[in-house]
């Protein structure tokens, strides 16, 4: 771990490592080899003479992209030896991906809390704020991630959207949601449903309570848009809107308000509620 980030893992096509990394990633990767900053799976330093068979892996620290700082704090709601529960702000991705690396909840919390083994037990969209649970040590990771994977965590979200008097609520929305690599939007397709959300209008001015019973990518945003009442501030649904990276003035009006579960290590009932104002 270096400043909150682990090394990138590169699977090789086989042959001289220096030549392959240079061809695939350019002079910066070549410079890392020559500086002794690339190691193989056994931790041995790769040099200009190293050749490895196809399927081997090497590790190196990537160059961080230039990122626009997200000007919001990440309050910690709870912390013990096993977990950290944070109140994630809008515009901060859960973990590194694409152009968001250092400006992610995971990396910032690793740095701020001094916890190099911190890992998310689940994810929130970059534009969604609210309760986000991390494991603090490697040995606890699987137990908490399994809770979320098996749907054993009760989640409640609040959202702002227009009110359609003709829309009958509450209702359970079921659909088949597919998110393809390289596509910004997830889409509903024919087939067996894999996503389910209870949608309730809890205030006449457009405050909704959303209770997902599954956890598909962009599920709540897709389901609200499918009802004709997309969540306010959504730049993807129903239409893609280009928003500058440094525009923090119009957040998605969606808040992960509450999570509750039986702790897999202690058997104690856990409940965490965001302290952020309603969306």
**Residue positions annotated with a catalytic role:** 125
> Are 255 and 278 a contacting pair, CB within 8 Å?
yes
Q: How far apart are CA 208 and CA 157, in angstroms?
A: 8
Q: How far apart are CA 61 and CA 1, in angstroms?
A: 9
Nearest to 172 by CA among 200, 152, 193: 200
First to last CA, the chain: 36
Q: Is 54 helix (H, G, I), strand (E, B) or coil?
A: coil
* Phi and psi torsions of 219, nearest 5°: -55, -50
* Phi and psi torsions of 214, nearest 5°: -140, 180
């Amino acid at each position: 771990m270096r400043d909150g980030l682990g090394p990138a893992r590169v699977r090789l096509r086989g042959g001289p490592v220096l030549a392959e990394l240079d061809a695939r990633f350019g002079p910066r990767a070549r410079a890392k080899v020559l500086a002794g900053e690339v190691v193989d799976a056994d931790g041995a330093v790769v040099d200009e003479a190293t050749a490895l068979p196809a399927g081997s892996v090497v590790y190196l620290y990537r160059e961080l992209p230039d990122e626009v700082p997200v000007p919001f704090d990440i309050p910690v709601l709870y912390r013990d030896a096993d977990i950290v529960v944070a109140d994630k702000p809008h515009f901060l991705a859960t973990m590194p991906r694409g152009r968001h690396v250092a400006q992610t909840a995971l990396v910032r919390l690793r740095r701020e809390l001094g916890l190099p083994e911190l890992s998310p037990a689940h994810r929130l969209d970059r534009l969604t704020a609210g309760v986000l649970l991390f494991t603090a040590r490697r040995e606890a990771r699987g137990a908490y991630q399994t809770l979320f994977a098996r749907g054993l965590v009760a989640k409640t979200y609040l959202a702002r959207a227009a009110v359609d008097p003709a829309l009958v609520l509450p209702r359970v929305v079921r659909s088949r949601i597919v998110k393809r690599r390289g596509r910004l939007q997830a889409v509903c397709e024919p087939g067996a449903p894999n996503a389910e959300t209870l949608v309730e209008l809890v205030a006449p001015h457009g405050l909704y309570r959303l209770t997902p019973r599954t956890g598909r990518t962009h599920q709540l945003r897709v389901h609200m848009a499918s009802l004709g009442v997309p969540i306010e501030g959504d730049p993807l649904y129903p239409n893609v809107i280009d928003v500058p990276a440094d525009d923090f003035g119009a957040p998605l009006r969606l808040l992960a308000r509450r999570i509750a579960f039986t702790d897999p290590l202690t058997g104690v009932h856990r409940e965490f509620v965001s302290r952020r104002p309603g969306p």
